[in-house]
Amino acid sequence: MKLKLSILFFVFSLITFAQHHFVLNGVCSKNANSKNIYLTYKVNGKGITKSSEITNNKFVFKGELDFPTRATISTDPKFHMTTLNSNVFYLEPNVMNIKLDFDNLSTIIINESKATDEFNSLQNRAEKEKFQKKMDSIRESSRLYSVKISGTSDSSLKNQFQKSLDSLDQLWDELVDQNRNKSMQLELEFIKKNPNSYIAPDLLYNILTEGDEQIPYDTINNLYDKLGPEVKKSFAGKQLAERLLNFKNSRIGSLAPDFVLKDINRNTIRLSSFYKNQYVLIDFWASWCGPCREDFPFLKGIYAKYKNKGLEFISISKDENLQSWKKAIEKEKIEIWKQISTKENNSTIEDAYVVTAIPVKILIDKEGIIIGRWIGGGLENETAIENMITEIFDK
């Protein structure tokens, strides 16, 4: 009986360990004794960073983990990541083995991690290297043309060099878009075929963030619905569910997420208090964002024309430096409408509106419904905003 109980206890312990703990045993292919290596990951949204000293070319990390989770291993304690000093992989709640070259983590080998194998299968290194070489070539050519422009006083030559530089900028943007779209399609196909993969929620979350208007909400939501129940229980699965809800609630046709925040003058601003009486244009920006500030002359013109006809502006800044924020408001002379800082309010309102890049402008009607959403600055968006506002107020 004692023997049976001992065996049962041992088996139960193994099962419990497998479900809630991980061990990462590492071997360095080069002599790195006495140096440290670092691991960072999240458990239920809480960031965890560990360090391990390398002894006899070996190191070990241990911790608690319920589900496979994205992690970064690095030789830089501040995680200033490069392809040489860091690598992304997936920790699993079991015993894993890792082999690496301390001076080049791009050649890392990880065993006993199915999620890492799946993640690596999507990282076509040959294609990525080919893409990177093209980008490096464009970057070098752009640098040379910039040198030529600054090195000549001939206006004809300057114009010629500038045209070449503009063409390279356009080619850069096209290649970036092509690469992003290609990667996105590969990831969507993977998710369709592997609904029980623990990397699927992370892939969908990134597609939702980077794709924004490119991939329809229904497409991503349908893929989420088909994910396995255990995958949905993981933190990445729960995070994706929350992101999907925010995404849906922040699109055109949805009731705008309400908020109560203090403005720069410490006055309480409740979005819903403007309903019935005014349209509201929310502008997400920051002092360090060039395109954001380039839009201010246009916005000031629109505000001056329609502020007495029922249009209110609320600018929401993502600045971490409050002094920079206040100086920019003063310099741009935009204190004429309401100014709010997410930093000062300790607010994550940008998450509710799924603002992943700025500027973003959102127009809300008198019923609190989002009727316009524009990402980025520039003449095209300015024209679209002006046309919509003119149609509303100059009927």
Looking at residue 182, its pLDDT comes to: 79
Structure tokens at 279: 């349209």
Q: What mean pLDDT comes out for the span 189-206?
A: 92
pLDDT in tens, 328-348: 999 999 999 999 999 999 999
pLDDT band at 10 (very low <50, low <70, confident <90, very high): very low
Residues 6+ apart with CB under 8 A from 354: 208, 209, 212, 243, 246, 247, 250
Question: Per-residue pLDDT for 11 more than 60?
Answer: no
Looking at residue 13, its pLDDT comes to: 46
More confident residue, 46 or 2: 46
pLDDT in tens, 250-264: 889 999 999 999 999
Q: What mean pLDDT comes out for the span 187-192?
A: 90
Q: What mean pLDDT comes out for the span 315-323?
A: 94
More confident residue, 270 or 122: 270
Q: What is the mean pLDDT of the chain?
A: 87
3-state secondary structure the chain: CHHHHHHHHHHHHHHHHHHHEEEEEEEECCCCCCCEEEEEEEECCEEEEEEEECECCEEEEEEECCCCEEEEEECCCCCCCCCCCEEEEEECCCEEEEEEECCEEEEEEEECCHHHHHHHHCCCHHHHHHHHHHHHHHHHHHHHHHHHHHCCCCHHHHHHHHHHHHHHHHHHHHHHHHHHHHHHHHHHHHHHHCCCCCCHHHHHHHHHHHHCCCCCHHHHHHHHHCCCHHHHHCHHHHHHHHHHHHHHHCCCCCECCCCEEEECCCCEEEHHHHCCCCEEEEEEECCCCHHHHHCHHHHHHHHHHHHHHCEEEEEEECCCCHHHHHHHHHHHCCCCCEEEEHHHHCCCHHHHCCCCCCCEEEEECCCCEEEEEEECCCHHHHHHHHHHHHHHHCC
Q: What mean pLDDT comes out for the span 261-283?
A: 94
Looking at residue 6, its pLDDT comes to: 53
Q: What mean pLDDT comes out for the span 370-394?
A: 91
pLDDT in tens, 146-158: 888 888 888 888 8
